[in-house]
């Protein structure tokens, strides 16, 4: 639908769409802007232009229109007390990570808090009516503006004033009256300063008029009256009309403070602390002039750089003032903004990564670090986190509890960035040497594949500027989730299946065949669990045929059969494979336990990313920044099994969705969004509470045992835990124990062998002196001592042994000592080594031959191998074990003849 069309239609009938009671009571005049033609309402008879085209635009900078001054947290207290005084309920903020909508990663507006998806429709669920909420919102489209324009933030608080016009709520007249009094009575803004501009809103198939309210060119809020649905001209009035007034808290603070930028009054003491730390010489008057120029001229130039150049020229800033004041100041603003965004996102369970919404978080952290390095700012991230949280806790006390977790994640992520820099530097150098300037597509690809931020490339002067479309393009790519469509089956006019597995859950039952086509069967009732929530389907038999798959299409369960088909209209007997179901159920319940165990052991950022539960194995993917250590795995397993042992009841209750959210918080959406009004809450005491449609054990001890079999970091920010439970876990442990037992036995046997060998060595070593003694006394001729043959002649002595009681170790020890003891002696030790025969030769200094090497060579030839060494010691050998006698004969002849 065309917004302009709706606007022109509505503005053609202002009495019907825009004129509220207040305008009449206070004497507002409706005017058309002399410059752009837009219609607006004002009490100032002299005003002829709309706020955007007025002379007084941004004149509040340096000269605020109020006597009272409210910083960020004070401004909220003023807004809150005003609305509470006027019958509104003040609701705590919702998480910035939008767990209740599967089309959004982050909460982008206050109204999103109360939107729920029902099938394909968006419905409203209000915890109170009317209400007001200080909703933090994250938007990453304008990142390049943050810190520069004075008013763009990556996270901001959108005050939400919401009302459904019924007996408690109100409609246009009261809404505009309240907003007017908020500005005048509560904030002390002069009536003449307030301008309401006519506009329209459309989205999600519905639309309505809206009134934006401005003070001195600054849009403070926009009251949207969602009233119609359908195409313009062919539209109908909604059953549930809604007022969604969204206002920027940052702007409320800014207009009362009149600081050069909104950043100066919205981060508490942080900007001041940083300016002091960095040592910037601030000239407030000069900065006020500069930022008024920036604010007024945005939109008049094609890019921000031109706006800046224009402002610098108009204010007359010297290049030195730009480098010494403007640049570092922009950096400080950026750092303060981006860090606040990370604090909220991490507190609410998001992790920087290269997937999904994590992309945006990674990029803002890299921008913080990049800015610090570019400007040479020595800042302590932890200290800045403390400053932020200590300031914000007045409005958002929940941040205190997450202080350490935020620090942990930022530290891990900052370290990762430093580590990746070497690789990034290489790629950047490569680009530079080729003289290439990457375009937006290249930059997006480089960021996605290598994590290289354009800020970093700018720092290295690979690109002159970050293309203005980069961040919005990236944000579009990673803002919403795409859904997979299920195959369409011919299921028209078939009634919903009665789901027995949520009731008595009989594993044998009769049912009527409502439809049979291809290999698919639809029954009027079923106990076969359909694949869903990561739980695999039941198997079994329908009319004697095998059930191989079960899927849910809407509220109809479709069974896939193999081997044959029953007829439509027939009543069939059905049997669910109980053993399979039992295994799956135990694994499924274990997933809940392991998920909460992981969060307890690792940190609050752990969420279920996905899960898969089969009969004999299962896996749980959790969000976590690093691979798990052995110690962490042990701890998770230990905690999980302690829950099993405690035999806690697993309670199942059905709640209205809104009630469940209020009672348990958004932690219940571990398995994703629940697209129905009534949610099934599965709780294991307060250890784990989740919205879940799967099958669970009744008490935890039924699980028997949970055993983690493997963990793996499967993608950035996601760790997979593979596990088994129940009998499979027992079997796994047994098998594991058997393997361990076998390994232990093998180890023992080896140790025993080693020990024996050592003992033998010891014995033979002890034997040597005695042997030497006996040999030295042996007479001329041949003799034998302990398997050592001795041939003694006048010329010398030749000793040898081929006994298998001696090993290499003995031969070396003995030969060495023998020739030392008797320089005229020679020794030849022959022994088997596996499939070969080996020889150790020693020749004494005064022996006849005096050439151990030659002997080794000669006898090795006999053995069919080779050998060698020096005159004193040599070794050799070969394959032919049968030639031992021949070899000895040869050696003997060489020594004695």
Which residues make up the interface to Zn ion (CB under 5 A)?
33, 35-36, 50, 53, 692, 694
What is the b/e burial string over 343-356, where b = at least 16 CB atoms within 10 angstroms of the residue's CB?
A: bbbbbbbbbbbbeb
CB of 212 to Zn ion, least distance (A): 12
Is there a contact between 610 and 534 (Cβ–Cβ < 8 Å)?
A: yes
Nearer to Zn ion (CB atom), residue 277 or residue 680: 680
CB of 555 to Zn ion, least distance (A): 19
Please state the closest distance from residue 535 (CB atom) to Zn ion, in A. 8
Check if the beta carbon of residue 811 is closer than 8 Å to that of residue 829.
Answer: yes
Based on CB atoms, which residue is closest to Zn ion, 130 or 583?
583
Least separation in angstroms between CB 591 and Zn ion: 7
Q: Which is nearer to Zn ion, 50 or 345 (CB)?
A: 50
If the CB atoms of residues 351 and 681 are measured against Zn ion, the closer one turns out to be 681
Q: Are 285 and 316 in contact (CB under 8 A)?
A: no
CB within 8 Å of 269: residues ≥ 6 apart = 387, 391
Q: Which is nearer to Zn ion, 350 or 692 (CB)?
A: 692
Closest CA to 464 of 455, 472, 473: 455
Task: Tell me the HSE value of 235 on the side-chain side, using a 13 A CA sphere.
Answer: 19
Tell the smallest beta-carbon distance from residue 596 to Zn ion (Å). Answer: 12
C-beta of 263 vs 528, nearer to Zn ion: 528
Q: In angstroms, rounded to a whole number, what is the distance separating the alpha carbons of residues 162 and 130?
A: 6
CB of 699 to Zn ion, least distance (A): 15
Q: What are the tokens at 498?
A: 């009665």
CA distance 854 to 867: 9
- Shortest Cβ 587–Zn ion spacing (Å): 10
Residue 184 is classified by DSSP as I
Of 51 and 260, the one with the shorter C-beta distance to Zn ion is 51
Query: Which one, 35 or 284, has the nearer CB to Zn ion?
Result: 35
First and final C-alpha spacing in the chain: 117
Question: CB-wise, 235 or 680, nearer to Zn ion?
Answer: 680
Nearer to Zn ion (CB atom), residue 53 or residue 125: 53
CB distance 827 to 818 below 8 Å: yes
Cα dihedral angle (579, 581, 586, 589), rounded to 10 degrees?
Answer: -170
* Alpha carbons 656 and 677: distance in angstroms, whole number: 6
Nearer to Zn ion, 226 or 596 (CB): 596
Give min distance, CB of 330 to Zn ion, in A.
Answer: 29
Per DSSP (E only), the strands in 761-824 are 781-785, 788-792, 797-801
C-alpha–C-alpha distance, residues 31 and 38, integer Å: 8
Q: Is 251 exposed, middle or buried (0-12, 13-18, 19+ CB in 10 A)?
A: buried
Provide, rounded to whole angstroms, the least separation between the CB of residue 447 and Zn ion: 37
CB of 600 to Zn ion, least distance (A): 18
Query: Closest distance between Zn ion and the C-beta of residue 529, in Å?
Result: 11
Cα 531 to Cα 551, 552, 617, 695, 719: the distances in Å are: 5, 7, 16, 11, 23
Supply the angle between the helices 630-645 and 578-602 in degrees, to the nearest 10: 120
Smallest distance from Zn ion to CB 639, Å: 18
Cβ nearer to Zn ion, comparing 695 with 802: 695
Closest approach of Cβ 328 to Zn ion, in Å?
Answer: 36
Q: Element (H or E) spanning 176, and its range?
A: helix 172-181
Q: How far is the CB of 643 from Zn ion (least distance, A)?
A: 14
- DSSP tag of 710: E
> CA 231 to CA 401: how far, in whole Å?
48
Distance (Å) of CA 668 to CA 8, 109, 126, 595: 45, 22, 18, 12
In whole angstroms, how far apart are CA 666 and each of 158, 411, 673? 20, 26, 10
Residue 746: helix, strand or coil by DSSP?
helix
Q: 773: which strand partners?
A: none
The answer to whether the CB of 559 falls within 8 A of the CB of 600 is no
CB 814 within 8 A of CB 761: no
Q: Cβ-count burial of 372 within 10 angstroms (0-12 exposed, 13-18 middle, 19+ buried)?
A: middle
Torsion sign over Cα 444, 445, 449, 454: negative
3-state SS class at 520? strand
Of residues 83 and 213, the one with the C-beta less far from Zn ion? 213
- Inter-residue contact 817 to 845 (CB < 8 Å): no
Region label for 488, one of left (φ > 0), alpha (ψ between -120 and 50) or beta (otherwise): beta
Spatial distance between the Cα atoms of 342 and 585, rounded to a whole number of angstroms: 38
- Cβ proximity to Zn ion: between 119 and 299 the closer is 299
The whole-angstrom separation of Cα 518 and Cα 364 is 53
The CB-of-210 to Zn ion minimum distance in angstroms stands at 17
Query: In angstroms, what is the minimal distance from the CB of 506 to Zn ion?
Result: 21
Closer residue to Zn ion, CB minimum distance, 28 or 252? 28
Nearer to Zn ion (CB atom), residue 683 or residue 849: 683
Which CB sits closer to Zn ion, 127 or 532? 532
Least Å from the CB of residue 38 to Zn ion: 5
Buried b (16+ CB within 10 A) or exposed e, 635-657: bbbebbbebbeeebebeeeebeb
Task: Please identify, using beta-carbon distances, which residue of 53 and 546 lies nearer to Zn ion.
Answer: 53
Token duo for residue 349:
């369970």
Measured from the CB of residue 300, what is the shortest distance to Zn ion in angstroms?
Answer: 13
Q: Is the peptide bond before 445 cis (omega within 30 degrees of 0)?
A: no
């Amino acid at each position: 639908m065309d917004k302009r069309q709706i606007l022109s239609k509505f503005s053609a009938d202002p009495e019907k769409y825009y004129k509220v009671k207040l305008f009449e009571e206070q004497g507002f005049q409706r005017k058309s802007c002399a410059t752009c033609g837009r219609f607006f309402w004002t009490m100032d008879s002299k005003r002829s232009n709309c706020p955007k085209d007025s002379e007084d635009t941004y004149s509040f900078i340096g000269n605020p229109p109020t006597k009272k001054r409210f910083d960020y947290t004070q401004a909220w207290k003023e807004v809150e007390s005003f609305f509470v005084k006027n019958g509104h309920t003040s609701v705590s903020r919702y998480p910035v990570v939008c767990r209740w909508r599967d089309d959004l990663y982050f909460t982008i507006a206050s109204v999103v808090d109360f939107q729920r998806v029902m099938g394909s429709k968006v419905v409203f669920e209000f915890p109170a009516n009317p209400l007001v909420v200080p909703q933090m919102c994250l938007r990453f489209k304008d990142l390049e503006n943050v810190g520069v324009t004075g008013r763009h933030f990556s996270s901001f608080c959108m005050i939400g004033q919401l009302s459904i016009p019924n007996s408690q709520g109100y409609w246009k007249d009261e809404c505009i009256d309240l907003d007017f009094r908020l500005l005048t009575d509560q904030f002390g803004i002069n009536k003449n300063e307030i301008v309401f501009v006519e506009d329209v809103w459309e989205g999600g198939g519905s639309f309505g008029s809206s009134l934006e309210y401005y003070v001195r060119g600054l849009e403070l809020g926009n009251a949207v009256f969602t009233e119609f649905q359908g195409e313009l001209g062919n539209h109908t009035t909604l059953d549930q009309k809604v007022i969604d007034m969204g206002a920027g808290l940052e702007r409320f603070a800014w207009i009362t403070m009149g600081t050069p930028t909104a950043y100066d009054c919205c981060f508490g003491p942080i900007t001041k602390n940083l300016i002091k730390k960095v040592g910037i010489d601030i000239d407030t008057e000069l900065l006020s002039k500069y930022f008024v120029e920036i604010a007024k001229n945005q939109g008049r130039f094609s890019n921000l750089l031109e706006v800046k150049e224009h402002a610098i020229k108009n204010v007359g800033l010297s290049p030195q003032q730009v480098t010494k004041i403007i640049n570092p100041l922009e950096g400080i603003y950026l750092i303060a903004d981006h860090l606040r965004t990370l604090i909220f996102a991490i507190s609410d369970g998001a992790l920087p990564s290269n997937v999904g919404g994590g992309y945006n978080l990674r990029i803002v952290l890299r921008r913080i670090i990049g800015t610090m390095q570019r400007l040479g700012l020595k800042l302590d991230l932890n200290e800045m986190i403390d400053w932020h949280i200590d300031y914000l806790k007045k409005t958002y006390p929940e941040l205190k509890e997450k202080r350490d977790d935020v620090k942990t994640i930022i530290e891990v992520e900052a370290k990762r960035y430093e580590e990746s820099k070497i690789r990034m530097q290489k790629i950047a150098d490569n680009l530079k040497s080729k003289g290439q300037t990457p375009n937006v597509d290249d930059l997006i690809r480089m960021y996605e594949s290598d994590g290289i931020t354009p800020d970093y490339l700018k720092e290295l002067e690979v690109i002159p500027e970050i293309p203005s479309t980069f961040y919005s393009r990236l944000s579009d790519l990673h803002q919403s989730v795409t859904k997979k469509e299920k195959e369409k089956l011919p299921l028209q006019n078939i009634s919903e299946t009665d789901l027995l597995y949520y009731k008595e859950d009989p594993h044998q039952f009769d049912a009527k065949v409502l439809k049979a086509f291809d290999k698919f069967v639809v029954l009027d009732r079923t106990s076969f669990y359909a694949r869903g929530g990561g739980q695999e389907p039941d198997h079994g038999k329908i009319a004697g045929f095998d059930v191989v798959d079960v899927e849910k299409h809407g509220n109809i369960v479709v069974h896939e059969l193999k081997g044959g088909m029953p007829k439509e209209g027939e009543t069939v007997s059905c049997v669910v494979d109980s053993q399979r179901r039992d295994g799956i159920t135990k694994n499924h319940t274990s997933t809940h336990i392991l998920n909460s165990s992981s969060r307890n052991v690792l940190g609050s950022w752990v969420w279920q990313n996905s899960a898969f539960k089969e009969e004999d194995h299962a896996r749980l993917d959790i969000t976590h920044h690093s691979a798990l250590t052995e110690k962490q795995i042990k701890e998770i397993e230990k905690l999980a099994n302690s829950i099993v042992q405690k035999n806690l009841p697993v309670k199942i209750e059905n709640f209205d969705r809104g009630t469940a959210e209020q009672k348990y918080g958004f932690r219940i959406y571990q398995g994703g969004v629940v697209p129905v009004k009534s949610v099934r809450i599965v709780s294991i005491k307060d250890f784990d509470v989740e919205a879940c449609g799967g099958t669970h054990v009744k008490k935890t001890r039924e699980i028997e045992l949970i055993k983690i079999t493997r963990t793996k970091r499967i993608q950035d920010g996601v760790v997979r835990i593979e596990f088994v439970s129940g009998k499979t876990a027992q079997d796994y442990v047994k098998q594991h124990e058997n393997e361990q037992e076998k390994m232990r036995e093998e180890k023992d046997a080896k140790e025993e062998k080693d020990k024996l060998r050592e003992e033998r060595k010891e014995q033979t070593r002890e034997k040597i002196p005695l042997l030497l003694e006996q040999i030295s006394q042996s007479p001329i001729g041949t003799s034998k001592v302990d398997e050592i043959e001795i041939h003694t002649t006048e010329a010398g002595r030749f000793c040898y042994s081929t006994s298998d009681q001696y090993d290499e170790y003995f031969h070396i020890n003995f030969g060495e000592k023998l020739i030392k003891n008797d320089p005229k002696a020679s020794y030849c030790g022959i022994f088997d080594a596996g499939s070969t025969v080996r020889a150790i030769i020693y020749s004494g200094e005064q022996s006849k031959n005096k050439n151990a090497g030659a002997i080794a060579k000669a006898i090795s030839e006999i053995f069919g191998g080779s050998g060698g060494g020096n005159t004193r010691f040599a070794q050799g050998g070969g394959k032919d074990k049968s030639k031992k006698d021949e070899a000895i004969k040869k050696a003997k002849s060489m020594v004695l003849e």
